[in-house]
């Protein structure tokens, strides 16, 4: 019988009658036994296979003795930085230290180290030398090759090499970790293996001392660590090869030399079936923080997901700044309606449930099935995106399944409202048949929006949108028009909240001004904007570092100076008085003083003598406020962590992130 929680201490192990753990899972997050937390998923998966798993949550990394708290693991250490890359968790785009950590008790910062995967692995080795160390989680997954690190401003080795660990599980790790556990048991029983641990397991990276140690006879050898450090063209070529082979059906083994060692990546693990996804979410999660955290103020990240449903994982959207496809993959893995209804009924039984399901979705709310039939047999296309620059003719667009699912959920006794907050891909919606699109929008506006709907046009310049892998702004404007019409038909006054990114590769000051003009015409007042953060694993980060688009090997302009970044950001919020000096400087430098004046097209008024900080109230057009005065139920209108971790896995705090 499953324990209410996996043990955090020797005392809890004793209560379960354990003398040792098979696996000790070290995590940089507080232990929340909920399927949105990677440590909980991996722990429960291994438990369901009969293994004993203990949790070392946020151990004191300064002292190796804290890593002995659960004793020596019988099979292996499992190490994860947590649901976010630790550097994204700790630092803003301006490299300033964040004051809160939503994955820690009470939101307290400072409970995990920088580069947590490395530090934890070294401490595990100091505590007990013998057990293998297996890295996992988004930090390890996206840093598995030689990668550019924004905070060091240099190319770093694979995290597996620097951590001196044995194996790295990349992507969603349920299948690989189960296979590794079986192999570890067989090795412990004395079975001989000709290759390193994990060499035959999809979804795994390992270190080989010699090419002869690799089972694959014809691997693709990438430019070496030394080559990508010395030559940005070599870095871009290496990235493009990595991206092309992230195919679970026929992806090739990749090898990247690191000095005298060879980093080996097997092809990605296969997507889970619907039956397997259902079984995963039927595991006996307590859905709460461990009782050890009582009185500490809760774990803020749970508030976003406690009464939400993860309906699917994976994304074929192809946004350049998002590393999600490098982690979860491009093939959608969805749960059945029955599974989601069962979970909804469990939510309803909670004494904390107030009648509101805060979200139904995943990385993208309206991707409920693979992009096309071909993906089931051949995987995602190597050199073609599903939605960019135009929707693929083979794209299977259908919102009928999502409509049926939402109707079932909102019909449940005890449910007052079901909201959609995880990103709605509006270009996919606009590719649907007009009648089905109107039906979906009408139901969405009538039943599933809490006053505002967050969508992600990201920018308005065609030049920048091409680099982002996003549709033309005309698609967003067509969606905006239909959304507003749908709200009129159902008698609602509801708003669109656009996510916008400043200083993305390809954007110079003229593109930033183009976006500001579009915001003026929309009458939009962005409350929050996001500076582009170059996080490992994304195409945009490769372009940021190299100044080269690896798909074409053509040069791309990259805004780098703090002054230009500040001006671009200020232009997105040109109405704010504190931004007046920066906006004025940007317009003057760009030769766009036609936008300073009193006319209908002006962004700001001319400066007045002695006006000090300036006056941004002179916007010629007074558009409606982006955020409505009326708010939905608590939590229903909140974001999903996107601002904290843009590009780290499509909103790093989102549901469905696994080990």
* Confidence band of 609 (pLDDT split at 50, 70, 90): confident
Q: What is the pLDDT of residue 2?
A: 74
pLDDT of the residue at 528: 82
Is it the case that residue 623 has pLDDT exceeding 80?
no
CA 555 distance to own-chain centroid: 27
pLDDT of residue 611: 57
Give the mean model confidence (pLDDT) for residues 154-172. Answer: 98
Encode pLDDT of 220-256 as tens digits. 999 999 999 999 999 999 999 999 999 999 999 999 9
Per the model's pLDDT, the better-predicted residue between 54 and 528 turns out to be: 54
Q: How far is CA 145 from CA 255, 536, 646, in A?
A: 9, 9, 20
Q: Tell me if the domain spanning 307-450+631-659 has CATH number 3.30.470.10.
A: no
CA torsion, ordered 44, 408, 307, 4, to nearest 10 deg:
-30
Cβ-in-10-Å burial (0-12, 13-18, 19+) of 291 comes to: exposed
Distance CA 227, CA 238 (A): 10
Q: Quick check: 648 and 549 in contact, CB under 8 A?
A: no
| pLDDT interval class at 626 (50, 70, 90) | very low
The answer to whether residues 461 and 503 touch, using CB atoms and an 8 Å cutoff, is: no
Contact partners, residue 298, CB within 8 Å, separation at least 6: 105, 106, 289
Rounded to 10 deg, the angle between the 337-348 and 400-410 helix axes is 30
> What's the mean pLDDT in 507-513?
98
Task: Collapse the DSSP code of 229 into the 3-class scheme (helix H, G, I; strand E, B; otherwise coil) and give the result.
Answer: helix
What does the pLDDT read at residue 1?
58
CB crowding 183-219: b at 16 or more within 10 Å, else e: bbeeeeeeeeeeebbbbebbbbbbbbeeeeebebeeb
Q: Exposure string (b/e) for 120-151, b if CB count within 10 Å is 16 or more?
A: bbbbbbebbeebbbbbbbbbbbbbbbbbbbbe
**Is residue 250 helix, strand or coil?**
coil
Kindly report the length of the chain: 659
How many angstroms separate the CA atoms of 135 and 146, rounded? 16
* Residue of 166, 118, 147 lying closest to 225 (CA atoms): 147
Q: Collapsing DSSP states into helix, strand and coil, what is residue 158?
A: coil
For residue 424, pLDDT beyond 80 = yes
Q: Look at residue 322 and tell me whether its pLDDT is greater than 60.
A: yes
pLDDT score of 17: 96
Position 270 confidence tier, pLDDT thresholds 50, 70, 90 = very high
**Binding site per annotation, positions:** 315, 319, 322
pLDDT of residue 610: 64
Q: Quick one: pLDDT at residue 217? A: 86
Helices (H) and strands (E) in the chain, counts: 23, 22
pLDDT on residue 608: 85
Residue 14, burial from CB neighbour count under 10 angstroms (0-12, 13-18, 19+): exposed
User: Which one, of 401, 409, 472, lies nearest residue 432 by Cα?
Assistant: 401
Residue 634's pLDDT is what? 31
- pTM: predicted TM-score of the whole model, two decimal places: 0.91
pLDDT range class, residue 604, cuts 50, 70, 90: very high
* 337 CB neighbour count, 10 Å cutoff: 15
Secondary structure of residue 164 in the 3-state scheme: coil
Could you tell me if residue 108 is left (phi over 0), alpha (psi between -120 and 50 degrees) or otherwise beta? beta
pLDDT of res. 32: 98
Name the burial class of residue 225, with classes exposed (0-12), middle (13-18) and buried (19+) by CB atoms within 10 angstroms of its CB: buried
- Residue 615's pLDDT band (cuts 50, 70, 90): very low
Phi, psi (rounded to 5 degrees) for 495:
-115, 155
Inform me whether the pLDDT recorded for 641 exceeds 50: no
Mean pLDDT across the chain, nearest whole number?
92
Assess contact for 589 and 509: CB atoms under 8 A: yes
Q: Does the pLDDT at position 605 exceed 90?
A: yes
pLDDT band at 176 (very low <50, low <70, confident <90, very high): very high
Per-residue pLDDT reduced to its tens digit, 642-656: 333 333 333 333 333
Instruction: Show Cβ contacts of residue 160 under 8 Å, excluding neighbours closer than 6 positions.
Output: 135, 140, 144, 167, 168, 205, 206, 207, 263
| pLDDT score, position 643 | 32
pLDDT range class, residue 422, cuts 50, 70, 90: confident
**Residue list for the binding site for [4Fe-4S] cluster:** 315, 319, 322
State percent of the chain over pLDDT 90: 89
Nearest 5°: phi and psi at 221?
-95, 120
**Per CATH, which fold does 451-630 belong to?**
Transcription Regulator spoIIAA (3.30.750)
Model pLDDT for residues 85-117, shown as the tens digit of each residue: 999 999 999 999 999 999 999 999 999 999 999
Q: What is the pLDDT of residue 644?
A: 33
């Amino acid at each position: 019988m499953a324990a209410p929680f996996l043990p955090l201490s020797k005392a809890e192990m004793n209560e379960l009658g354990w003398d040792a753990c098979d696996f000790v899972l070290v995590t940089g997050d507080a232990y929340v036994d909920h399927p949105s937390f990677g440590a909980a998923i991996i722990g429960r998966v291994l438990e369901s296979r009969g293994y004993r798993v203990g949790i070392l949550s946020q151990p004191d990394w300064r002292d190796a003795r804290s890593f002995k708290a659960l004793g020596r693991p019988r099979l292996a250490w499992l190490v994860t930085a947590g649901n976010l890359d630790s550097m994204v968790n700790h630092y803003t785009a301006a490299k300033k230290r964040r004051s809160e950590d939503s994955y820690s008790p009470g939101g307290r910062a400072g409970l995990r180290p920088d580069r947590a995967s490395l530090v934890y692995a070294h401490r595990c080795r100091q505590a007990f030398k013998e057990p293998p160390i297996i890295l996992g989680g988004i930090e390890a997954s996206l840093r598995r090759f030689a990668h550019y690190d924004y905070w060091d401003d240099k190319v770093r080795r694979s995290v597996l090499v620097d951590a001196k660990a044995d194996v790295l599980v990349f992507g969603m790790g349920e299948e690989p970790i189960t296979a590794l556990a079986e192999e570890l048991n067989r090795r412990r029983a004395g079975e001989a293996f000709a290759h390193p641990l994990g060499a035959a397991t999809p979804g795994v990276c390992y270190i080989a001392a010699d090419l002869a140690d690799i089972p694959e006879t014809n691997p693709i050898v990438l430019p070496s660590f030394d080559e990508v450090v010395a030559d940005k063209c070599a870095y871009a070529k290496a990235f493009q090869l990595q991206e092309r082979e992230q195919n679970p059906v026929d992806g090739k083994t990749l090898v990247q030399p690191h000095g005298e060692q060879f980093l080996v990546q097997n092809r990605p693990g296969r997507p889970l079936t619907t039956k397997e996804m259902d079984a995963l979410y039927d595991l006996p999660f307590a859905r709460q923080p461990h009782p050890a955290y009582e009185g500490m103020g809760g774990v803020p990240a749970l508030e976003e997901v406690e009464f939400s449903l993860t309906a699917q994982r994976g994304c074929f959207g192809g946004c350049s700044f998002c590393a999600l496809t490098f982690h979860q993959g491009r093939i959608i893995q969805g749960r059945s309606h029955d599974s989601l209804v069962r979970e909804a009924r469990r939510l309803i039984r909670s004494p904390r449930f107030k009648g509101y399901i805060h979200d139904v979705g995943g990385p993208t709310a309206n991707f409920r099935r693979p992009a096309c039939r071909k993906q089931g047999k051949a995987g995602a296309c190597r050199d073609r995106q599903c939605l960019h620059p135009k929707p693929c003719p083979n794209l299977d667009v259908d919102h009928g399944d999502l409509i049926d699912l939402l109707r079932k959920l909102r019909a449940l006794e005890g449910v007052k409202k079901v909201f959609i907050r995880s990103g709605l891909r509006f270009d996919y919606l606009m590719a649907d048949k007009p009648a089905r699109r109107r039906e979906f929008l009408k139901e969405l506006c009538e039943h599933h929006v809490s006053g505002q709907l967050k969508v992600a046009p990201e920018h308005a310049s065609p030049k920048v949108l091409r680099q982002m892998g996003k549709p033309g702004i005309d698609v967003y404007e067509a969606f905006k028009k239909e959304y507003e019409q749908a709200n009129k038909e159902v008698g609602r006054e509801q708003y669109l909240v656009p996510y916008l990114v400043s200083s993305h590769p390809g954007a110079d000051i003229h593109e930033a001004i183009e976006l500001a003009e579009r915001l003026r015409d929309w009458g939009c007042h962005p409350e929050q904007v996001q500076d582009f953060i170059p996080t490992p694993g994304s195409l945009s980060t490769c372009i940021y570092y190299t100044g080269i688009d690896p798909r074409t090997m053509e040069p791309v302009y990259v805004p780098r100076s703090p002054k230009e970044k500040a001006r671009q950001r200020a232009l997105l919020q040109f109405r704010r008085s504190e931004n007046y000096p920066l906006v004025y400087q940007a317009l003057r430098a760009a030769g766009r003083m036609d936008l300073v004046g009193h006319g209908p097209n002006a962004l700001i008024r001319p400066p007045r003598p002695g006006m000090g900080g300036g006056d941004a109230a002179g916007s010629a057009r007074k558009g409606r406020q982006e955020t409505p005065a009326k708010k939905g139920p608590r939590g229903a209108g909140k974001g999903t962590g996107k601002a904290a971790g843009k590009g780290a896995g499509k909103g790093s705090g989102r549901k469905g992130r696994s080990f």
